[in-house]
C-alpha cells in the first residue's frame, strides 16, 4: 500500500493544501500498518517486542486529523469498523446488560468484537462520563490483549484525558494502558481548516431579534414546504421523547428542549437517526451556571457532526464570541469549529 502516493492523489483531486506535517503522519501510519498487518514470515519471527497495536493522533480542532484517518481507514482491506465513541459505549453497556454471565461480560464483548473487526476507529475520542471512565481500563486491556488494532483521533493528549473529571484516579489505569499500547503522534498545524473554508454563516443567526427570527422562520417554511407536521415519538429503553415539530425528517427544537432536559448521547443518537435537517432556536451564551446544558450541547453537536446533518440556529451571541465554562474550553473549541461546518453544509 503506497499511502503517500494515494494521499497526494487525494489532495490533488480534492484541491486540498498539502502540509508536510500531514505527510509525516502518513509516513507514521504506513509504518504502523506494516508492523501490524504486513509482516513477512521472517519479520514476524524476529520482529520487535515493542510493536504497538494502537495509533493515537492528537491535534487541535480543524487541522485535518479526521481527513487523514478517514483516508487511511478507507484504504484498509482488513475487517474494520468505525464508531462514534458514544455509540461504542452504548453497544457495550447494552451487551453487558443482556449478557447472562455478567462477571465475564467484558471478555464476551471483546471476543464478539474480535470476530467482527481487526481494527476499530474512534474519531474525536474523549471521555466525559464517569461510568465509562471507570470501566475503560478493564475493557481496553482486553481489547489490546486480543491484538485488536485501534486508531484514535483526539484534541487531547493521552495523559490529559478526563482531566478534572470525577474520581479521575480510577481512570489512571486506562491512561497507562493507552500509553503502553499506542503510538501517540501530534498533527501540528496553525490553521483551522473548517473556519477558513466556511466563512459564510448564512444559517447561524445572531443576535436574536425580529430580523433573525424572520430569516430563520422563512427558511424553515421553505424547507418544510409540502411536508406534513406530525408528532414523532421516540422510544429509548423505556423512555419516550416527543418531537413536536417533525416534518418528514426536518425538525425544529428550542435549545432548552434539547439541552435543558435529562438527555444523553443515546437520546441524541436516536434523534439524529430520525433527522435530515435540524433547526435549533435560542442558543444561549455559556458560563459556569449552565455548564450542564453546555456539556449536553457539546455531545449533541458531536453526534450531529458524525452524521453530517445540516443545521440552522438562532443564537444570543455571534458564533465567534460565544463563551464557555472553564472546564470545557477545549471540547467547546471543537464544537464551535464544527458549527461553522454544519451551518455551511449545502442542503438539497
Per-residue burial over 139-148, b = 16 or more CB atoms within 10 Å of its CB, e = otherwise? bbbbbbeeeb
Confidence of residue 127 (pLDDT cuts 50, 70, 90): confident
Give pLDDT, residue 44. Answer: 54
Q: Do the Cβ atoms of 249 and 276 come closer than 8 Å?
A: yes
Say if residue 197's pLDDT is above 80.
no
Dist. CA 123–CA 120, nearest whole Å: 10
Grid cell of 181 as nine digits: 499500547
* CA dist., res. 193 & res. 63, Å (int): 6
Inform me whether the pLDDT recorded for 346 exceeds 90.
no
What pLDDT is recorded for position 282? 97
Residue 193: per-residue pLDDT: 59
What is the average pLDDT across 95-113? 88
* pLDDT tops 80 at residue 198: no
Read off the pLDDT of each residue in 247-266 and give the average, rounded to a whole number. 95
Residues 313, 205 contacting (CB under 8 angstroms): yes
What span, in angstroms and rounded, lies between the C-alpha atoms of 139 and 174? 9
Q: Which CATH class is domain 193-342?
A: alpha beta
Q: Are 57 and 69 in contact (CB under 8 A)?
A: yes
- The percentage of residues in the chain with a pLDDT greater than 90, rounded to a whole number, is 68
Give the single-character DSSP code of 18. P
Is the separation of the CB atoms in 300 and 334 below 8 Å?
Answer: no
Q: What's the whole-number average pLDDT of the chain?
A: 89
User: pLDDT band for position 133 (50/70/90)?
Assistant: confident
Q: Which residues of 128-137 are buried (b: 16+ CB within 10 A; e: fewer)?
A: bbeebbebbb
Measured in degrees and rounded to the nearest 5, phi and psi for residue 82 equal: -115, 125
3-state SS assignment for residue 55? strand
| Domain definitions of the chain by residue range | 3-187, 193-342
Whether 3-187 shares its CATH topology with 193-342 is answered: yes
Q: What angle do CA 29, 68, 264 make, to 5 degrees?
A: 110
Contact assessment for residue 49 and residue 22, using Cβ atoms and an 8 Å cutoff: no
More confident residue, 49 or 264: 264
Beta bridge partners of 54: 150, 182
Classified by CATH at the fold level, domain 3-187 comes out as Rossmann fold (3.40.50)
Q: What is the mean pLDDT of residues 136-141?
A: 94
CA terminus-to-terminus distance, the chain: 37
Look-up: residue for cell 429503553? 237
pLDDT(315) > 90: yes
pLDDT for position 215: 96
Residue 277 near residue 249, CB atoms below 8 Å: yes
Residues of the chain with pLDDT > 70: what percent? 93
Asked whether 316 and 208 are in contact (CB, 8 A), the reply is yes
Mean per-residue pLDDT for 102-131? Answer: 90
3-state secondary structure of 58: strand
What are the pLDDT digits (tens) for 39-77?
645 445 555 567 899 999 999 887 889 999 999 999 999
List CB contacts of 318: < 8 A, sequence separation 6 or more.
206, 207
The model's pTM: 0.83
What pLDDT does residue 100 have?
74
CA 252 to mean position of chain CA atoms: 23
Helix (H, G, I), strand (E, B) or coil at 262: coil
Which segments of 191-268 are extended strands (E)?
Answer: 204-205, 230-236, 239-247, 250-254
- Residues 6 or more apart whose Cβ sits within 8 Å of residue 147: 53
Cis omega (within 30 of 0) for bond into 207: yes
Identify the weakest region by mean pLDDT among 77-81, 251-255, 331-335. 331-335
pLDDT band at 327 (very low <50, low <70, confident <90, very high): confident
Amino acid at each position: 500500500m503506497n499511502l503517500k502516493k494515494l494521499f497526494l492523489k487525494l489532495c490533488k483531486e480534492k484541491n486540498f493544501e498539502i502540509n508536510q506535517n500531514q505527510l509525516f503522519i502518513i509516513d507514521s501510519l504506513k509504518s504502523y500498518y506494516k508492523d501490524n498487518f504486513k509482516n513477512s514470515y521472517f519479520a514476524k519471527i524476529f520482529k520487535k517486542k515493542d510493536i504497538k497495536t494502537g495509533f493515537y493522533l492528537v491535534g487541535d480542532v480543524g487541522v485535518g486529523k479526521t481527513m487523514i484517518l478517514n483516508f487511511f481507514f478507507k484504504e484498509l482491506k482488513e475487517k474494520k469498523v468505525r464508531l462514534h465513541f458514544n455509540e461504542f459505549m452504548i453497544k457495550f453497556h447494552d451487551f453487558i446488560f443482556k449478557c447472562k454471565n455478567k462477571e465475564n461480560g467484558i471478555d464476551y464483548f471483546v471476543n464478539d468484537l474480535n470476530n467482527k473487526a481487526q481494527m476499530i476507529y474512534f474519531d474525536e475520542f474523549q471521555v466525559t462520563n464517569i461510568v465509562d471512565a471507570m470501566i475503560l481500563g478493564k475493557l481496553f486491556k482486553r481489547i489490546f490483549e486480543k491484538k485488536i488494532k485501534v486508531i484514535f483521533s483526539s484534541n487531547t493528549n493521552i495523559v490529559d484525558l478526563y482531566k478534572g473529571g470525577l474520581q479521575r484516579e480510577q481512570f489512571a489505569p486506562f491512561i497507562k494502558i493507552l500509553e503502553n499500547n499506542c503510538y501517540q503522534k501530534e498533527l501540528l498545524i496553525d490553521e483551522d481548516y473548517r473556519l477558513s473554508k466556511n466563512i459564510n454563516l448564512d444559517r447561524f443567526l445572531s443576535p436574536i431579534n425580529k430580523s433573525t427570527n424572520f430569516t430563520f422562520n422563512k427558511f424553515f417554511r421553505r424547507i418544510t414546504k409540502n411536508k406534513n407536521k406530525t408528532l414523532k415519538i421516540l422510544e429509548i429503553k423505556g423512555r419516550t421523547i416527543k418531537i413536536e415539530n417533525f416534518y418528514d425528517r426536518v425538525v425544529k427544537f428550542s435549545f432548552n428542549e434539547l439541552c435543558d432536559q435529562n438527555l444523553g448521547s443515546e437520546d441524541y443518537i436516536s434523534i439524529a437517526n430520525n433527522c435530515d435537517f435540524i433547526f435549533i432556536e435560542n442558543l444561549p451564551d455559556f458560563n459556569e451556571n449552565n455548564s450542564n446544558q453546555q456539556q449536553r450541547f457539546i455531545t449533541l453537536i458531536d453526534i450531529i457532526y458524525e452524521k453530517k446533518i445540516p443545521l440552522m440556529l438562532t443564537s444570543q451571541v455571534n458564533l465567534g464570541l460565544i463563551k464557555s465554562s472553564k472546564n470545557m474550553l477545549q471540547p467547546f473549541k471543537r464544537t464551535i469549529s464544527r458549527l461553522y461546518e454544519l451551518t455551511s453544509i449545502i442542503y438539497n
